[in-house]
Structure 1
Amino acid sequence: MSVVDRHVPQRTCIGCRVRCDQPSLIRLALVRTGHAHDTRIVVDMRRTTHGRGAWIHADAACVEHMLRKKSWMRAFRVSQGMDISELNTLRERITQTDTTLRYRNPHTATDNVVVDTSTGSG
């Protein structure tokens, strides 16, 4: 009897550009709020928010690189600024290691933390 391996979707981190298993990444979503030009980026911990998505490791270096290089603009196919306050909150929570969920970090092969953003109001 052999164990059948289940397919695990692969996604690319927009911070470090490394492909890895989807469960080890946080999903970001571009959400339109009312008007066509009123958009913001939210952290989608449940991975159910409608809209264009991008993926990032819960790693301070990846989040810093994404914000510094503005790679979120390429990932979401936008050319103008928008509300990224939730990305800054994500950076702060990862830096402070506010833990609720764990994942395997492909950079260090150790357990890292993923933040719980469901308690914050956006």
Structure 2
Amino acid sequence: MARTRPAPRQDVPIEGPVRTCVGCRSRGPVSELLRVVAVDGACDPDPRRRKPGRGAWMHPAADCLHRAERRSAFPRALRVPGPLDTGALHALLEANPAPDIRTQAPTPVGAGGRGSRSTPDEPAVKHSR
């Protein structure tokens, strides 16, 4: 009796920008991942994706955080020497075990209200001529 091979899995293409989680090393859309930056020797979560500097991406899950710590992935991904403090990431994930990153996503350009290109954090500046 001949064995039949299963059909190859057809992956659904991901819409928009794709990043790799530093913990589980799987790829996903940026809307499902949390950006992390290095600030003064610590990993600082950047859910709005606005902070300057090089960023690393991870799923907002404790499992991915533990894997990234075990593999020393944050210093390597952020290109900083020495270990980084991940206390802020632990606090974020403990406070909200499954944060909805989409509610913390940045406002698209031009959606600041009243036709301005400013974000909700900064007021619109009107120039008089």
Distance 2:60 2:53 in 1: 21
Instruction: Output one character per residue of 1:57-81: Cα deviation in whole Å (capped at 9) or x when no partner.
Output: 0122111111122211111112312
The answer for the alignment partner of 2:35 in structure 1 is 27
* Alignment-derived partner of residue 82 in structure 2: 80
Instruction: Name the count of aligned residue pairs.
Output: 90
Aligned to 2:24: 16
Q: Which residue of 2 aligns with 1:70?
A: 72
Q: Mark the runs of 5 or more structure 1 residues left unpaired by the alignment.
A: 1-6, 32-37, 104-113, 115-122
Tell me the equivalent position of 2:108.
Answer: none
Q: Which amino acid aligns with 2:38?
A: L
TM-score (norm 2): 0.59
The answer for the alignment partner of 2:56 in structure 1 is 54
Deviates more, 1:84-93 or 1:38-47: 84-93
Write the mapping of 1:111-122 to structure 2, written as runs, cut at 5 A: none
Length-normalised TM-score, structure 1: 0.62
The one-letter code of the counterpart of 1:17 is: R
Superposed CA RMSD: 2.4
Secondary structure class of the residue paired with 2:38: strand
Q: Alpha carbons of 1:42 and 1:102: their partners in 2 closer, same or farther (altered >3 Å)? A: closer
- Cα separation, 1, equivalents of 2:66 and 2:23: 8
- The alignment partner of 2:35 has SS state of strand
| Helix, strand or coil at the partner of 1:16 | coil
Query: 1 or 2, which has the higher strand percentage?
Result: 1
How far is 1:45 from its partner?
A: 1.0
The letter for the 2-side match of 1:13 is C
Secondary structure of 2:36's partner? strand
Match of 1:30, SS?
Answer: strand
Q: Post-superposition shift, 1:41?
A: 1.8
CA offset digits 1:21-71 (Å, max 9, x no partner): 11000010122xxxxxx4332100111000110100012211111112221
